[in-house]
Structure 1
Amino acid sequence: MEKPTILISIPLHQFMDEMAKMIKEQLESGGLDNHNPKAKTILTTDQMMVKLGITRPTLSRWRKENRFPFIQVGSVVRYDLDKVLESLENKKRKSR
């Protein structure tokens, strides 16, 4: 049996706010699949600062310099730990 589809018109900003809220909730709850042993480690700004041993201004500057990938939805910023570490390691190798 086919599921019914409802189409409604909403302003773009409202849609973006709702999507950002839903993504933020998923990120804060640990994502969709908490049972996957290969699940990505997604960190908040504070967690990433501690992990890298750097200050908030340094983290912000590195983000603006595109030293590593990050996820941003609205004002919420998150970091995939594996991708950040891989990116920093690659940049370190290139500078040698």
Structure 2
Amino acid sequence: MLQVTINEDQLNSIIDAAVNRAVAKERESNEETSLMDGEQICKRFGVTKQTLQKWRDRKEIPFVQIGTVIRYDFNKIIKYKEIKRRR
């Protein structure tokens, strides 16, 4: 069995680093799940509603539709567009 001895300051540093990593990971997952409406996406990309509709129709961007409500995940659109651009 391995036994490691550390002082209180070292232990606090290890705990702080672990907490910071966990918080950063949580923030990333929260950013990924924030949904925007069409108007917000149009403003972010500087496009018209018609262009946004074309992107949806051509399956050029991911979106979620529940009934008549359509929402977009900005970060997923960015990732999707980057992947498409590389091809």
TM-score normalised over the length of structure 1: 0.58
Question: 2:27 is paired with a residue of what secondary structure?
Answer: coil
Q: Match for 1:49 among 24, 42, 46?
A: 42
Equivalent in the alignment of 1:64: 57
Larger radius of gyration: 2
Aligned counterpart, 2:12? none
State the Cα distance separating 1:70 from its structure 2 match.
0.2
Aligned residue pair count: 59
From the two aligned structures, give the one with the greater helix fraction. 2
CA RMSD of superposed structures (Å)? 1.1
Q: Once superposed, which parts of structure 1, at least 4 consecutive aligned residues long, lie more than 3 Å away?
A: none
Matches within 5 A, 1:5-24: none
Identity of aligned residues (%): 32
TM-fit CA distance, 1:81? 1.1
Q: Secondary structure at the match of 1:66?
A: coil
